[in-house]
């Protein structure tokens, strides 16, 4: 039996940029410029802009994601947002982004609890993993990513619902290539995508590890995206600063659509 093709996903992480008044117009412009049915398009604005973006994207085919979620279902957590609060506003959620690991000291165990909350409420998580420059230079890149996956996914896989695993997306984001001027190569990212799927196999997914989309995230631009999408093991990108620019997102999604059509024509995913 032929395995289903992995989707090509382009997700834009707006980080802490834009007001609600600006967000709806920008989201609508991006959706109009990226109307490619063969690509899953996701925009992740700040929390305060989720409603405006959801309204602007209604019926466009572009989906909405949150940038984070709390690890608890509810409670005395001032300033935090639970998964149940996101239902109806977002269908995706970024979990474990390197900036939150760095600035909020998020551990793999905490990230794992957030994955469970996403699963409970039908949010599709984009789990971010990746090594620092020091870890890469010490030859620990693969070990770091393996550890992050094992530390975060244990609870989801043991509780797990088949559907929870089927919704999982992994974003490999080398911390040393985010806003530093240093660039990972397509080959670097493809090798780490292999590490991701080998680790998922070891965690018990076996042949289903090949079905999990792996995105690249690390200063992605329209000029650089082709190198990453040329790698059969990569299935799209988690885009940072470039996702705030209509022309950049249009170029990135257009290239992703070429990849999606080529893979559909070949009828395989690697």
Q: Could you give the 3-state DSSP secondary structure of residue 109?
A: helix
Give DSSP secondary structure letters for 20-32: HHHHHHHHHHHHH
State the catalytic residues.
Answer: 97, 173
- How many whole angstroms separate alpha carbon 100 and alpha carbon 16? 12
Phi, psi of 187 (to 5 degrees): -65, -40
Structure tokens at 22: 């600006």
150 bridge partner residues: none
User: Contact at 8 Å (CB) between 69 and 86?
Assistant: yes
CA dihedral 229, 234, 238, 242 (to 10 degrees): -10
């Amino acid at each position: 039996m032929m395995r289903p093709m992995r989707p090509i996903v382009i997700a834009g992480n707006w980080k802490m940029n834009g007001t609600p008044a600006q967000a709806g117009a920008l989201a609508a412009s991006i959706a109009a410029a990226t109307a490619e049915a063969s690509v899953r398009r996701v925009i992740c604005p700040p929390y305060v802009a989720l409603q405006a973006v959801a309204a602007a994207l209604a019926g466009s085919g572009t989906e909405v994601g949150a940038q984070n979620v709390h690890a608890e279902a509810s409670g005395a957590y001032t300033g935090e947002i639970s998964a149940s609060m996101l239902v109806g506003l977002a269908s995706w959620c970024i979990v474990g982004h390197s900036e939150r690991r760095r600035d909020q000291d998020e551990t793999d165990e905490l990230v794992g609890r957030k994955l469970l909350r996403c699963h409970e409420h039908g949010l599709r998580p984009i789990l971010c993993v990746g090594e620092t420059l020091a870890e890469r230079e010490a030859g620990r890149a693969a070990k770091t990513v393996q550890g992050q996956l094992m530390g975060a996914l244990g609870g989801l896989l043991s509780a797990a619902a088949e559907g929870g695993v089927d919704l999982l997306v992994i974003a490999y984001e080398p911390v040393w290539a985010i806003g530093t001027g240093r660039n990972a190569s397509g080959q670097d990212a493809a090798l780490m995508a292999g590490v991701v799927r080998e680790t998922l196999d070891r965690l018990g997914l076996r042949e289903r590890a090949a079905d999990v989309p792996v995105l690249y995230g690390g200063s992605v631009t329209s000029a650089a995206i082709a190198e990453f999408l040329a790698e059969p093991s990569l299935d799209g990108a988690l885009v940072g600063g470039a996702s705030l620019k209509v022309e950049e997102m249009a170029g990135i999604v257009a290239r992703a659509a070429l990849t999606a059509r080529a893979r559909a024509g070949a009828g395989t995913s690697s």
